[in-house]
Amino acid sequence: MPQAPRQAAFFDLDKTIIAKSSTLAFSKPFQAGGLISRRAVLRSAYAQFVYLVGGADHDQMEKLRQFMSQMCAGWDVATVRDIVAETLHNIVDPLVYDEAVGLIEEHQFAGRDVIIVSTSGAEVVAPIGEMLGADRVIATRMEIVDGKYTGDIDYYAYSETKAEAIRELAATEGYDLEQCYAYSDSVTDVPMLEAVGHPHAVNPDKDLRRIAQKNEWPVLVFTRPVGLRRRMRLIPTRPTLAALAVTGLAVAGGVIATNIRRRGAS
């Protein structure tokens, strides 16, 4: 008998699983590690405020993308990964939505793969995904030369690029996208939501809320941050995630995909 098509649940990360930008949340540890100045920390705090209050405005996110890309130029890759590993729990613990973790558990118990699809990069996304028991992540990849970031982007997981990555993954893994689920807060992820048969808007910005209502997509409201370490006792980690993750520096915000030189989806 032929096997039934596989299913998956695709989750955006920032403001869907966690309550703020995963990248900007690490600005203070990066300062403590000598990577950025106090002025850059203050600018990151302002960018976080704009991100939380203003939503996913393309122009604002493009400015934020440029800021982050320029700021990380010359950073040592190993240093960034060490800082993230050492501070991950302290940074992320207060930010994870209990409702999101519950949804991830439900999909795992139903036998669906869980995949995080984030505009942030794998130095942040992959460790969070591993703690959540995700099967893999799709994330931004920064160019690396001689162990340092150049400030250029090899691959940007944003807007239609996310949808393309999902369709490519479905083709290789045998997912039936009509039976798959997707969750996001941002109107920039409409292509990702449209790629599956069960799209959900989570804490949506006003534009996504309007589109969700028009298309009769479920709208979910997540309000309860929970300590991740406490929840992780309930969720088995997947040791293969690190090998499956896209590597790259975490970069926040958005940019039109055609303006970015892309070298691969994962």
Catalytic residues: 12, 14
Name the helix (H) or strand (E) containing 257: none
d(CA 37, CA 254): 23
**Residues near 134 by beta carbon (within 8 Å), at least 6 away in sequence:** 11, 104, 114, 115, 116, 238, 241
d(CA 128, CA 258): 28
d(CA 101, CA 9): 13
**Under 8 Å between Cβ of 166 and 177:** yes
Instruction: Decide: helix, strand or coil at residue 234.
Output: coil
